[in-house]
Structure formats: structure tokens, C-alpha cells
Amino acid sequence: MTADIDFSPVDVLIVGAGASGATAAWNLTETKMRIVCLEQGGWTNPADYPTTGRDWETRAQSDFSINPNRRQQPGDYPVNDDESPIKIANYNGVGGGTVLYAGHYPRFHPSDFKVKSLDGVADDWPIDYGDLEPFYAENDRVTGVSGLAGDPAYPAKQSLMPPLPMGKSGQKLAEGFNQLGWHWWPSDSAIATQPYNGRDQCINLGACISGCAQGAKASTDITYWPEALRAGVELRAWCRVKEINVGEDGLASGVTYFDEEGVEQFQPAHIVIMACNGVGTPRILLNSVSEQFPNGLANSSGLVGKNLMLHPYASIQGVFDQELDGYRGPHDSIWSQEFYETGVARDFVRGFTYETTRGRGAVATAVSGAHTGRIPWGTGHHDAYRKLFNRIAGMVAICEDLPEEHNTVTLDPNIKDARGIAAPKMTYSISENSQKMLDFAVARAEEALRAAGATDIMIESPLTGGGWHLMGTARMGVDPKKSVVNEWGRSHDVKNLFIVDGSVFVTSAGVNPTRTIQTLALYITDQIKKRLTHLFD
């Protein structure tokens, strides 16, 4: 209750309790500073996850949809994505996007931090793989990562648990990759394959992206947060931040937020850390307008909200003659990074990862089959359905998106959330380079599926619902004119304001970003700890 809350100044105020906010809070606990985290959503009870009921496929498209505009839960805010071919996906609550992610958990590669030097496009990061390597390892330990050491697509890295099973689907796809002589490897996954740090092992529920009722998937509500709370961090759920306030000294003085009852509150703080993802963070910064910062906070470069990167996805699925995994098993299985690094013979730069997919549920098979004309109405329905059920497997291509200033998050002039705060608007188009990459990825995937024995191919490119990787809108760099935060995550303009989420990405790589987001949160908060005595210099 509000009456019990201590509104005296805190040392550190973190906005957002998702992947990066949880990680940042955990890493700062050893300082014994007073840390408060504000989260606009609430805790999710695993007993409420869809796989606890017979209607799990329906609920994955409604109250547990990845799209907040469809989900419309109390913690959500609207996002205008009308001017983007790729629609928003997120989760607002303790754990953030990790509650609904698949747990597909690749690292960046060394080359991903040197895009300008190697390929002459975009910009190099001001840090590199070597800087982050110890923090990757630390995050892996807390998260609990399954996989197999020795992947030739990566520098050596440890594996903490055995890989998820390949299953019938993974093995079928691996046969295709092997026929073509391509790389593939068991996916690194943030899914426990053994009991791990109080979490039970995966039991193949098959619906990772609507929440893991088993607790095997490493969402931060069950990894970082329990440890951070035990160490004294205060987490206030159902608190929606309106703006970051600044004092006459130009430093952040705290944040104004609406509590669960909708009452406006002010929480003073000495350090503010933003952890609201690549849409939520620029939204709050742009909403934080003052005389000193008329264009939004930390925005002297004009780059807050610009360079939005989304990872265009293509989905390429094959239909096989024999039964595969279907609805059984986690989404993750194996990946291929055969086309990850830039190829001189291709008409695009950079590359992508194939993340294989095991199959579909009974309802999803029927719905997609009917809507693509593969399953007719009437007497032919049942035969056609049985040719698809448990016989679909394939992959998605996660294509590296390069930063472009015209891809933006701005404030929508008309749409507001339930507290009257201006909603974000995404304006995004797929670049020529990304489109060529998508087309190439689709064509090569079709070859692999045919080699594996697929008799029919189903393509969706771009994957319209796949806007779950939100990056680049408060980029990192050493030049204040060309970046929003410096090389250790501190705002160039406001010296007690830090950003630890995917907003700071300089480039996007061709992999799922969560492992790197959390690693960066560890790196940046480690920098805070090391520089405490002169943090605001």
C-alpha cells in the first residue's frame, strides 16, 4: 500500500523489471545501496500460464498473446505499429519479455561488434566481445543455459547443462543440413534440462512462448529476481512511470509515476537506470520534457527513438510424410549459422541465424492450414488435416537489421495509455539489404527442407507478428553527437542516468538479443560499481 512506501531518496531507481532491469538490480545488490525498481505490470503466477489448461492454444492468442495491442492486460500500454510491416511483441510484467520468449539464447559473435571495420556499414560498437565475455559467462551461470560446447560458429564457451533433445523434428532438419554440408548445432537455450538452482527441468510442454508453467525456462522473475529481492531490492509492481524529472543541476532527480491506484507519486533518486526495452525507454525519455531538455531527456544528439532495429524474420516450414514432434517439446532444438558471416558472393552484407521449429499444436495446424487453403471446408477437411498434423517442421531466419535513422519510435499524438501517458508509435520499413537477406534465407531454407524430405513448403516473409526484438533507439557510442549513452551505458547529457536495455545496441547482430541484453546490463552495472566514487564526473 502507498502508506507503507518510503518515498525518501533512493540510491538507485530502476525502471522496468524485465530481462535487463532484473539483471541490473541483482548485480548492484553487493553495493548495499538502497535500490528500488518500478514495474508497470505485476507478477505472473505460473499456475495461470496457458499450458495448465485445455485451451492453451486459444489463450496464447488472447490473454497471453505476444502482442500487447491484442493482449490488453492491465500492465500493457498501446503501441501504434500501423506504420510498420512488423508488429510489436512484448510482455509487460515482472520478468518482461523473458516471460514469453522462447528461451532461444545465442550470444553475439566477435564480428557483430565490428560491423563498420569488417563490412563497411553502420558503426562499430565501442566495446567488443572480449569486454563482454566474462559477463556472458556470469549471466549464463545465473540464468542456467543448456547447450553443447564446441560449436564451430563461436569462440569456445562453456555449457552448463546438456542440450535440449533434438527430437524427431530436429533430427529431420539436421539430415537436410548435413546433406548440404551446412553448419548446425544444438541451440543454446535458457531452458533447464536438469534441475538447476531451484528450478525443475523441462518436461516438453511445447508452449514456451506463452509462459513456462514448469519453471524450466529462465524468465527473470524466477532467476534474477528471487536473489535480488532476498538481497534487499524493493520491487514495486503496477507502477507506471510518466517521466524522469531533472533538477537545476541537470541531473535526474527521480521519476514521477502512477501507482496501482492511479495516484501520481514522485520517487527521488540519486541514480536512474532505464530498463524498459527499445520502445519503452525512448517513450519515457521523449515524454520527459523540461526547459532544460525540450526535445526529451538525454536527446541532445536527436537520436533518442531513432535507429529502431527489429530483426526481420522469415518463417519457412516444410510438410513431411512422417510424424515429427508436432506440439511436443520446447520450441528450441537446433540452429544453423551457415550464412551468419558476410559472404562475398551474396548481394547483401551481414547474415542471419536459422532457428529451427519443431512443429505446431493441433489448433494452430488447423487454423494455418485453413487460412492458406491447404485444409478445405467440407468432406476433404479430415484427410487434409491429417497430412499436416504433426508433420510440419522448419525454421525461422533471424536477419541482422542495420540501423537507419528513419526507423523510429516517436510519441503518438493521439493514443494514450490508461494513465493518460502518450503511447509510442513505431515507424519502420525493411531495408533493401534486409529484404535481399530475407529472400536469400527463404530460398536456402527451402533447399534444406527439400533435402530433408519436405514435400510442401510454407513461407511467411517477413513474419508480421515478429517484432519482439526492440533495439537501437538510444545507441551507445563515444561521440555525444552520434550516440545517446557512452561506452559504459551512461547518458552523455545526464550523468546519473543509465540505460541497460536493447536500446543501447549499436547494431543488432543476427541472433536473438536477450542474452546480450542481460550481459550488457551486467557490464554496465559493473562499470557503475567500479566508478562509484567518481560516477558523475
The site string for other proteins over 298-337 (x = CB under 8 A, - otherwise) reads: ---------------------------x-xxx-------x
Q: Is 154 in the site for other proteins (CB under 8 A)?
A: yes
Q: Which is nearer to other proteins, 18 or 50 (CB)?
A: 50
The site string for other proteins over 388-427 (x = CB under 8 A, - otherwise) reads: -x--------------------------------------
Q: Which is nearer to other proteins, 16 or 106 (CB)?
A: 106
Q: Is 171 in the site for other proteins (CB under 8 A)?
A: yes
Q: Burial, 414: exposed, middle or buried (Cβ in 10 Å; 0-12, 13-18, 19+)?
A: exposed
Only one residue has cell 530475407, namely 438
Q: Burial, 152: exposed, middle or buried (Cβ in 10 Å; 0-12, 13-18, 19+)?
A: exposed
Residues within window 184-243 making contact with other proteins, judged by CB under 8 A: 184-186, 203-207, 213-214
Q: Closest separation between CB of residue 363 and other proteins, Å? A: 5
Q: Is 435 in the site for other proteins (CB under 8 A)?
A: no
Q: Which is nearer to other proteins, 43 or 385 (CB)?
A: 385
Among 183, 236, 374, 495, binds other proteins (CB under 8 A): 183
Among 181, 263, 322, 420, binds other proteins (CB under 8 A): 181
H and E: helices and strands count for the chain = 12, 16
Render 392-409 in DSSP notation, one character per residue: EEEEEEEEPPPP-TTSEE
Three cell numbers at 30? 553487493
Among 2, 45, 117, 295, binds other proteins (CB under 8 A): 117
User: What residues contact 436, with CB distance under 8 A and at least 6 apart?
Assistant: 346, 347, 348
Which listed range, 169-177, 312-320, 458-466, 507-515, lies at the site for other proteins (CB under 8 A)?
169-177
Render 461-516 in DSSP notation, one character per residue: SS-TT-B---B-TT-B-S-TTT-SB-TTSBBSS-TTEEE-SGGG-SS-TTS-SHHH
Residues within window 458-497 making contact with other proteins, judged by CB under 8 A: none
Amino acid at the residue 427: T
State how far the Cα of 108 lies from the Cα of 469, in Å rounded to an integer: 14
Q: Closest separation between CB of residue 333 and other proteins, Å? A: 9
In this structure, how many other beta carbons lie within 10 angstroms of the beta carbon of residue 86?
23
State how far the Cα of 180 lies from the Cα of 6, in Å rounded to an integer: 63
Three cell numbers at 250? 541537470
Q: Which is nearer to other proteins, 306 or 444 (CB)?
A: 444
Q: Which is nearer to other proteins, 2 or 58 (CB)?
A: 58
Q: Closest separation between CB of residue 226 and other proteins, Å? A: 21
Among 15, 366, 497, 499, binds other proteins (CB under 8 A): 366
Q: What is the helix (H) or strand (E) element at residue 81, kind and residue range?
A: strand 80-83
Q: Which is nearer to other proteins, 59 or 242 (CB)?
A: 59
Among 137, 251, 367, 415, binds other proteins (CB under 8 A): 367
Only one residue has cell 566477435, namely 110
State how far the Cα of 273 lies from the Cα of 490, in Å rounded to an integer: 9
Residues within window 33-72 making contact with other proteins, judged by CB under 8 A: 49, 51-58, 62
Residues within window 372-391 making contact with other proteins, judged by CB under 8 A: 373, 376-379, 381-382, 386, 389
- Cα angle value 422/85/457 (rounded, 5°): 145
Q: Closest separation between CB of residue 155 and other proteins, Å? A: 7
Which listed range, 17-25, 176-184, 466-474, 518-526, lies at the site for other proteins (CB under 8 A)?
176-184
